[in-house]
Structure 1
Amino acid sequence: MKVLAIAGSNSGASINKQLVTYAASIFENAEVEVVDMNQFEMPIYKHERELEGGIPQQAKDFAAKIDGANILLISLAEHNGTYSTAFKNVFDWVSRIKDRAVFNEVPMLLMATSPGGRGGAGVLEAATKRFPLHGGNIIETFSLPFFNDNFDKSAQKISNEEKSSELKTKIQKIATLESILQK
């Protein structure tokens, strides 16, 4: 089973990257790849750019990573209630690939975290409404509020037992579903 873990942030200290990396580590017997959004930095999408130069190779490479995965783990940074510009730009470019649904119906665990009590609720709401329109097969969602209180940075894991158990249950559900689909 191949798990593609995506943090929707280009920050070197991204708490969403820490969360998605931890979540990916919970999968047993899986090949895991954690994506760095900085590898997919492209000019900001503009229709004229697309007409002049076509789709950037980075967008095609990102789409290929999605296509090669059995499970997507996506943890989105929330910037003013929605996705970060870094994630949105990649999303926009990939959506322009002819005859392509961005997420290609790959089963997905959609997550978010933040230092505050809402745990990325705004971005999760935006994504759960938008992603299915672009081939997003969201099986579960997970929110970790108060990241600095609920995540042990030295151990690189969720320290809040209730939230840790919730995440593990959701990962087990999606892993079981994927193993059934592979048969």
Structure 2
Amino acid sequence: MKKIIAFGASSSETSINKQLATYAANQFENTTIEILDLNDYEMPIFSIDKEKNGIPQLAHDFYNKIGTADLIIISLAEHNGVYSTAFKNIFDWTSRVNMKVFQDKPMFLLATSPGTRGGSTVLEIAKNRFPFQGGIVKGSFSLPSFGENFDAEKGIINEELKNEFLKIVASIQM
């Protein structure tokens, strides 16, 4: 059975991106799903000086966890147009374990926000950056206005957006 590793790239306990990543993972059939919480990988703020003391075990743990995936689903929180600090720090530390953080794994990249742009700026950054870190981006989707377009029970409730999303899911071969 294929394995999906999914997470919201945010440390918020009520992360809308974690909700979207979980919803997305559950759209794939015949898979096992593991939802990661970035709070389980909290490390000191990355710096060259701190790296002299060694790479934290949590960076190795995160890297190893990614290695178990047949598909990685990340829904990116957008903080001032870029990755959340929590995700960026994990990403930076893990890149010191291996620059190919995503280990040539297929990825489905998502983003959402309360606003009408739906995290589209950070999503574009990730789509362009992650291939350099060993990510094979198979699809991407931005969900604007999360509060209006997503329901905790039903998922994406805007029919046009849901159809667009499901077409992308169907196109991703595992």
**TM-score normalized with structure 2 length:** 0.96
Q: Matched residue pairs, number?
A: 173
Question: Quick one: which amino acid aligns to residue 32 of structure 1?
Answer: I
The farther-off stretch of 116-125 and 156-165 is: 156-165
Cα deviation, 1:70-91, whole Å, max 9, x if unaligned, reads: 0000000000000000000000
Aligned to 1:146: 145
Secondary structure of 2:26 counterpart: helix
CA separation in 2, counterparts of 1:39 and 1:49? 20
TM-superposed deviation, 1:165: 1.6
Aligned to 2:119: 120
Aligned to 2:17: 16
The farther-off stretch of 158-167 and 134-143 is: 158-167
Aligned to 1:160: 158
TM-superposed deviation, 1:133: 1.1
Aligned 8 A contact 1:59 1:94 in 2 = yes
Aligned to 2:93: 93
Structure 1 unpaired stretches of 5+: 179-183
The farther-off stretch of 73-82 and 157-166 is: 157-166
Identity in percent: 53
TM-superposed deviation, 1:124: 0.7
Aligned to 2:77: 77
Q: Write 1 or 2 for the structure with the bigger share of helix.
A: 1
**TM-score normalized with structure 1 length:** 0.92
Secondary structure of 1:42 counterpart: coil
TM-superposed deviation, 1:171: 1.4
CA separation in 2, counterparts of 1:107 and 1:27? 14
- Alignment counterpart, residue 171 of structure 1, candidates 162, 169, 172: 169
Question: Quick one: which amino acid aligns to residue 112 of structure 2?
Answer: T
Aligned 8 A contact 1:18 1:156 in 2 = no
Aligned to 1:181: none
Structure 1 consecutive aligned stretches of length 4 or more whose deviation exceeds 3 Å = none
CA separation in 2, counterparts of 1:26 and 1:72? 13
CA separation in 1, counterparts of 2:112 and 2:158? 13
CA separation in 2, counterparts of 1:49 and 1:156? 44
Structure 2 unpaired stretches of 5+: none
TM-superposed deviation, 1:136: 1.4
